[in-house]
Homo-oligomer: A and B are copies of this chain.
């Protein structure tokens, strides 16, 4: 989780007062989830929370820094569940299924059960915020480790350069992982997502 934590800290400044910082993030999360991230200013947010704008700027240097913190928290919670799900896998094949099934199911739940959180997630992807880039990098690293494990166990082929294999799989799974793409594929979770995972597993077969 260290990469996500480091990125969450970007744009945060002033006294490291965990309580107030997370109080702001929590209130902002609540506020954005009602009114949307795009249309809210820091002034609106300050008014809603009951803090002065200047006080908020002691902790975050911009609205994006607050958005980043919300995003990092949300993606961090996805990664925690993914970590657990993958750890319970019985084989590399099983781990790949768990990895992608968990990601697509949780992404639908977190980004689309509340459309307003989709709003922040979309900004985060479109503008390549560090939180979102770090998340993708984390998933790709986890995937690479599982492929390596599967190769060592003889479950997967070994000819394709491992980086290429992982990169291509990440790309092929974008429709179910990237919130901006996922919004058009909500009907295809879980069935379509499962079919892509099966395709991925056939591509990994020795």
Contacts and interface: CB of A to CB of B under 8 A. Distances in A.
A169 interface: yes
A199 B165 contact: yes
A199 B172 contact: yes
A2 interface: no
Number of copies: 2
A164 interface: yes
A143 B188 CA distance: 20
Contact of A168 (B168, B178, B196): B196
A167 B188 CA distance: 11
A171 interface: yes
A172 B184 contact: no
A199 B169 contact: yes
Query: Interface size for chain A: under 10, 10 to 19, 20 to 34, or 35 or more residues?
Result: 20 to 34
Interface string A101-134: 0000000000000000000000001100000000
Interface in A148-206: 157, 160, 164-165, 167-169, 171-175, 178, 180-181, 184-185, 188, 192, 195-196, 198-200, 202-205
Contacts of A188: 171
B175 A171 contact: yes
Nearest to A126: B184
A62 to B, nearest CB: 23
Contacts of A125: 184
A181 B192 contact: no
A167 B195 contact: yes
Contacts of A172: 171-173, 175, 196, 199
9 contacts: A125-B184, A167-B192, A168-B198, A171-B188, A172-B172, A172-B199, A174-B185, A175-B181, A181-B181
Shortest beta-carbon contacts, A-B, top 8: A172-B172, A203-B203, A168-B199, A202-B203, A168-B195, A174-B175, A199-B203, A181-B181
